[in-house]
């Protein structure tokens, strides 16, 4: 019997997925992204065991967690910090993704005080409209960074798909290469080209990922085994490295449509219900505070997710041959959004297996 919600992480599957991605990319280095797991050291070690050459996360707290766990691999800070955090950045991160020269000035000051050199990848916006300089502004940024004594501009990068849903293709990746080539002419030396995230694996499969790209930042596809463009399985990766289970706390036969005047639910929505007659329903002890109910698929296809409040998940279990027992666990495969909440919630136990 289960007493509380639990997410189970199969580290061997994460290591195998990492190895498959690394092998598929060949000479392109993989930065394993741990942010959906809140910088889990166990997940980080599995990625490194699978061949990731570095680790990336968007939060300094997570990078510190990795360092405190004894991980010595290069760490990338994937979200630009505010200037006031510069000292913490140069202490924890080897590389940061940057688009604001004010922030880079602060990193230079902090690196000088710490007696280190800090590496920066200049980010350019190719249409997804998340972070990045517009291409015309890059030469001024490069000139300013090159004047700094403790900052090394090591690469050009971009982010695609995460915000605007823009797919990496021959056009925008070709534009990235052209921008990087111009930057190399200005600097007089070769730069690393960080050609995006998990969505660039689709470009690899379609044969449009340029060979000149030598770095990708991969998280979701390694961890969940899916394309971030289609959310379908990709590269033969395993899609069940993460499962979440929660115990049944009620199982009753009830009407399928609420009775009375309908108003907003707890989250301001106006739910719609189909009248399917009397149905057996189970409630498990997990809710929107812990997981995205739209982003979980029951392992048993006879179970249907009906909805959730902040702390209850309501299931239709009428198709099961017998009612689930109170305390019995129901298991689901989580999506990216569901996994994000599961790892952020302090109310969900994390169980690592096959480490």
Burial degree of 85 (CB within 10 A; 0-12, 13-18, 19+): middle
Q: Which of 13, 35, 254, 257 is catalytic?
A: 35
Return phi, psi of residue 307, to 5°: 160, -175
Tell me the Ramachandran region of residue 336: left when phi exceeds 0, alpha when psi lies from -120 to 50, beta otherwise. Answer: alpha
Distances (CA, A) of 279 to 126, 323, 325, 327: 50, 11, 16, 20
The question of whether 35 is a catalytic residue gets the answer: yes
> Residue 84 CB: number of other CB atoms within 10 A?
9
As a three-state string, the secondary structure of the chain is CCCCCEEEEEHHHHHHHHHHHHHHHCCCEEEEECHHHCCCHHHHHHHHHCCCCEEEECCHHHHHHHHHCCCCCCEEECCCCCHHHHHHHHHHCCEEEECCHHHHHHHHHHHHHHCCCEEEEEEECCCCCCCCECHHHHHHHHHHHHCCCCEEEEEEECCCCCCCCCCCCHHHHHHHHHHHHHHHHHHCCCCEEECCCCCHHHHHHHCCCCCCCCEEEECHHHHHCECCCCCCECCCCCCCCEEEEEEEEEEEEEECCCCCCCCCCCCCCCCCCCCCCEEEEEEECCCCCCCCHHHEEECCCCCEEEEECCCCEEEECCCCCCCCCCCCEEEEEECHHHHHHHHHCCCCEEEEECC
Q: Catalytic amino acids?
A: 35
């Amino acid at each position: 019997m289960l007493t509380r919600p639990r997410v189970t992480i199969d580290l061997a599957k994460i290591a195998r997925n990492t190895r498959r991605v690394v092998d598929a990319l060949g000479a392109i280095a993989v930065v394993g992204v741990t942010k959906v797991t809140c910088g889990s050291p166990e997940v980080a070690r599995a990625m490194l065991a699978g061949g990731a050459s570095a680790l990336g996360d968007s939060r300094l707290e997570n990078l510190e967690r990795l360092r405190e766990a004894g991980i010595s691999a290069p760490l990338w800070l994937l979200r630009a910090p505010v200037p006031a955090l510069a000292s913490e950045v140069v202490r924890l991160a080897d590389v940061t993704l940057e688009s604001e020269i004010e922030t880079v000035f602060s990193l230079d000051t902090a690196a000088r005080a710490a007696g280190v050199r800090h590496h920066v990848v200049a980010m350019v916006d190719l249409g997804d409209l998340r972070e990045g300089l517009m291409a015309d502004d890059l030469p001024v940024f490069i000139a300013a960074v090159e004047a700094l004594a403790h900052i090394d501009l090591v690469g050009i990068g971009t982010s695609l798909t995460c915000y605007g849903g823009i797919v990496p293709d021959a056009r925008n990746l070709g534009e990235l290469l052209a921008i990087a080539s111009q930057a190399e002419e200005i600097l007089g030396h070769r730069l690393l080209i960080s050609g995006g995230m998990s969505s660039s694996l689709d470009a690899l499969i379609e044969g449009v990922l340029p060979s000149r790209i030598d770095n990708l930042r991969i998280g979701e596809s390694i961890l969940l085994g899916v394309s971030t463009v289609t959310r379908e399985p990709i590269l033969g990766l395993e899609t069940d490295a993460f499962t979440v289970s929660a115990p049944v706390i009620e199982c009753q036969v009830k009407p399928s449509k609420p009775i009375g005047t309908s108003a907003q639910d707890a989250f301001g929505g106006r739910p719609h219900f189909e009248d399917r007659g009397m149905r057996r329903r189970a409630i498990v002890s997990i809710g929107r505070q812990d997981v995205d109910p739209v982003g979980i698929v029951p392992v048993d296809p006879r179970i249907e997710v009906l909805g959730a409040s902040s702390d209850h998940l309501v299931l239709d279990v009428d198709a099961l041959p017998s009612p689930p027992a109170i305390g019995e666990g129901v298991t689901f495969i989580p999506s990216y959004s569901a996994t994000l909440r599961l790892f952020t919630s302090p109310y969900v136990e994390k169980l690592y297996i096959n480490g």
